[in-house]
Amino acid sequence: MRCLLTTTALAITALALCGHCANVVVDASQTFQTIEGWGHGGGILGGTAGASGLLSPAVADPVNYQYLDCLLDDLGLTGTRTWEVGPRIDGTGNDHGDCDAIDWNLFEGDTFSAMDAAYLLYFQNRILAKGYPSSFYSSPGYPTHASDVKPWVMNHPGERAQQILASALYLKNTYGIIINYAVIYNEPSMAFSLLADDIKAVGPRLAAHGLPTLTQYAEAVAPQTDWSYITPVQSDPDLWPSAGRISYHNYGTADPYRTHLRGYGKARGLTTAQTEMGNPTFDDLYSDLTLGGVSYWEVAYSASLTLTPKPETPGSCHRAPIFACGRSCITCVQGPCGSEQRRVTQPSTSLRSQRTAWSPRSSETRPDQRRRSI
């Protein structure tokens, strides 16, 4: 009812402002994809690193928890990329030749600090307390490159499976952080058969340890590349039970391949996700939602693109970033007759928006119970 009333009010407002622009009709019988959430493709911890790296916890924590609240309450994010934990940086492994026997004495848990874990857990628990599912996915790469540059890990399905399993298991058992999805390789360029073998190796291991983690495939650089990884394995009966969603980045040829990904995902009962694009516009979001049928969409790939105020260029609203959070939050909205308008929301001197309408429950409070303005 609220949705219908809101739609009706918007239609009346549009008519009042410019005479007769368009008829707004809501067909409640027609439904599309269910939105799982919105995420940060560079990882939310990229925005906490500056304060936590330069300041003591007593000063950094209040700043970073306000930043996380901004992501949750102002931008409405519900997911994030995060890095795998535990791969050794000395070239050795976490076992003694048996991929199914993790030696936790060899696991380098200190590659993920307790401070970062507290931030990620807070973000997760706040999402869940709002009644939304969290959408965290692990990926190898930038912090240590301790998985993706080791051929004996990347080219051995058992070793790759063990790394993904050990990371997800450690985060769950140590901190209560749930990894919902796991990426085999970020923007892969290797043979499709290797990714497929890795998924078939890790899926049963994750399930055997009671983890809800599924893989997301193929996380390629563009929809066209993603489709090239899917077509050879469309009929693989052992791969798809361990896949949770089809994910792609958007740096290259997108169409008609987004539609192919959407169609194949629907046939398989899988959702689609756009998990990285630099400087996306509203047109990009609209195309991902309609052509790609995405249920999960990420704001940007870097903290600087997502979280810093964006200067506006007169006459170029349609090219502006979708979200910007900081001293001002700038978005572009469509005027009632199609003219582009700018809407600027000015938060208070605190990073926390005064628009927050919920009351914190005990499970949502910060570990140190402190709230400070900056």
CB 350 within 8 Å of CB 66: yes
User: Looking at this protein, which amino acid is placed at residue 257?
Assistant: Y
Question: Widest CA span of the chain, in angstroms?
Answer: 75
CB 111 within 8 Å of CB 85: yes
pLDDT digits (tens, 9 = 90+) for 189-199: 999 999 999 99
Confidence at residue 271, expressed as pLDDT on a 0 to 100 scale = 98
CATH class, range 35-364: alpha beta
Query: What's 271's DSSP letter?
Result: E
User: Looking at this protein, which amino acid is placed at residue 175?
Assistant: Y
Nearest partner of 272 among 256, 255, 290, judged by Cα:
290
CA distances from 153 to 77, 135, 211, 335 (A): 33, 26, 22, 53
pLDDT digits (tens, 9 = 90+) for 257-284: 999 999 999 999 999 999 999 888 889 9
CB 73 within 8 Å of CB 348: no
Q: How far apart are CA 374 and CA 371, in angstroms?
A: 10
Residue extents of the structural domains in the chain: 1-31, 35-364
Mean pLDDT by 10 residues, the chain (374 residues): 42 52 85 92 89 92 95 94 83 84 91 94 98 94 65 88 95 98 94 96 97 98 98 97 97 97 98 92 94 91 50 42 38 36 34 32 38 33
Indicate the SS3 state at residue 278: coil
Tokens of 189: 């360029």
Q: In this structure, what is the dihedral angle of CA atoms 297, 303, 307, 308, given to the nearest 10 degrees?
A: -140
- Give backbone dihedrals phi and psi of 275, rounded to 5 degrees, phi first: -115, 10
